Amino acid sequence: MIVENKLILVGVITAAKGIKGEAVIKSFTEKKADLINLKLVDNQGTQIKLKFVRNNNKEELICRVNNHQTRNEIETLRGTQLFCLRVDLPKLDQDEFYATDLKDKVVVDKKLKHIGFVRNILNYGAGDLIELEFNNGQKELFAFSAKNFPEIKDEYMIFIPPIIAK
């Protein structure tokens, strides 16, 4: 079940840049610049408005933030997490998912027997990994693929364990 008014972490202010009060923003959106078009708030609910200035060489965004005009003002924002409402995120194709929608989802086997929950979605650069917590408390990582997870519904996702050759 998707909660439309849920806050979703979409970026973070990582540093100040230059003397004109620009901020370095790490975007967690698929297309980094999409962050600029979202209605953003911090964890206190304060609205954050970004004005795009340029990209840096680390694929981060350089932005002006609200009415902050000096480096010192931006330094006080370092570490500020940027959130948007789930309802404000772009609609996805049928075979696409937001990580936040998969967290805590019930996992079942092909006979629809409950076997655990999705605890996290990770990506270390080679593709998405699903961290499953099985009913016995054991946690394990699996590639997020149609072979391992052939069906994803609102209520559950089916898991087919990979066959390991001996």
CA atoms within 13 A on the CB side of 39: 9
| pLDDT of the residue at 50 | 93
Helix (H, G, I), strand (E, B) or coil at 55: strand
* Domains in the chain: ranges and CATH: 7-87 (2.40.30.60), 99-158 (2.30.30.240)
55 has pLDDT over 60: yes
pLDDT digits (tens, 9 = 90+) for 10-39: 999 999 998 888 999 999 887 888 889 899
Kindly give, in sequence order, each residue whose CB lies less than 8 Å from that of residue 46, ignoring residues fewer than 6 positions away: none
- Please provide residue 93's backbone torsions phi and psi, each rounded to the nearest 5 degrees: -70, 165
* Predicted model pTM: 0.70
- Please provide residue 126's backbone torsions phi and psi, each rounded to the nearest 5 degrees: -110, 15
Q: Which pairs from 122-126 meet CB under 8 Å and 24+ separation?
A: none
Average pLDDT over residues 50-56: 88
pLDDT digits (tens, 9 = 90+) for 99-127: 888 999 999 999 999 999 999 998 887 78
**What is the gyration radius of the CA atoms in the chain, in angstroms?**
19
Amino acid in position 99: A
